[in-house]
Amino acid sequence: MKSYQAHAVVGAFQCNCHLLVCPVTAKAALIDPGDDAAKITHMLEKAEAALGRKLEVEYLLHTHGHLDHIGATKKMKAAFPKAKIALHAGDEPIYKMLREQGRLFGMNYEDPEALDQRLQHEEKISIGHLNLSVIHHPGHSPGSVSFCLHEDSALGAEETLFSGDTLFKGSVGRTDLWGADGPLMFKMIRERLLTLDGDVGVRPGHGEFSTIGVERHSNPFLK
């Protein structure tokens, strides 16, 4: 059985919302449900059709608390009340400021739901038989994290990093927003991301996918 993965590009900021599904248990996680709840729901329905069974969304995971990554969290929580809203505590203040974040961009949001889980560096998360670990790398925002999906050949899962807005294909995150710290972000990318195996896939919060090896050798911001 092969793990099911998909992503949808959502919202005005074109955030990559990722779906991970354990093929054995049909337990699932959404990473960064940033906007377009209907589009995310459609992605879930397609997964259900492919697997031939109903998904159990256990987690709404967030790489960080910027509005383009959390905008549909409330609607997804309403659709899946048992799903835990998880974010690093470093971004909880920004998460709670969703209305204020929206106002800056002329967008209206309701107050966000409370967090169910505050993520910590090196914390392990299981989605059925799939295993993820949390890598905290403050810089783009105080609570920015990546989720590293661990390789499991029996489940067809390859080692993959969901890197949010910290590491992009050929670029890195901006550091001019609330609580950002440029030098710290570069230090964290070098110490906690570029040290991963070169074969590890990189699925950023925006834009195309890459690998750690490619970014280590050709990302112009990391020369």
Shortest reach from residue 93's CB to Zn ion, in Å: 15
- Min dist CB 67 to Zn ion, Å, is 8
Amino acid at 42: H
Smallest distance from the beta carbon of 66 to Zn ion, in angstroms?
4
With CA atoms as reference, report the closest residue to 31 among 103, 134, 110, 128.
134
Token couple for 68: 């383009």
Q: Which is nearer to Zn ion, 23 or 33 (CB)?
A: 33
CB of 209 to Zn ion, least distance (A): 15
C-beta of 11 vs 23, nearer to Zn ion? 11
Q: Is the sign of the CA dihedral 186, 174, 163, 113 positive or negative? A: positive
Q: Residues in the site for Zn ion, rule: CB under 5 A? A: 66, 68, 165, 205
Nearer to Zn ion by Cβ, of 18 and 66: the residue is: 66
Which residue reads 């409370």 in tokens?
A: 114
C-alpha distances out from residue 44 to 52, 56, 111, 158, Å? 12, 10, 25, 21
Of 35 and 68, which has the nearer Cβ to Zn ion? Answer: 68
* Identity of residue 168: F
Alpha carbon distance 110, 201 (integer Å): 35
126 or 171: CB nearest Zn ion: 171
Q: Least Å distance between CB 25 and Zn ion?
A: 30
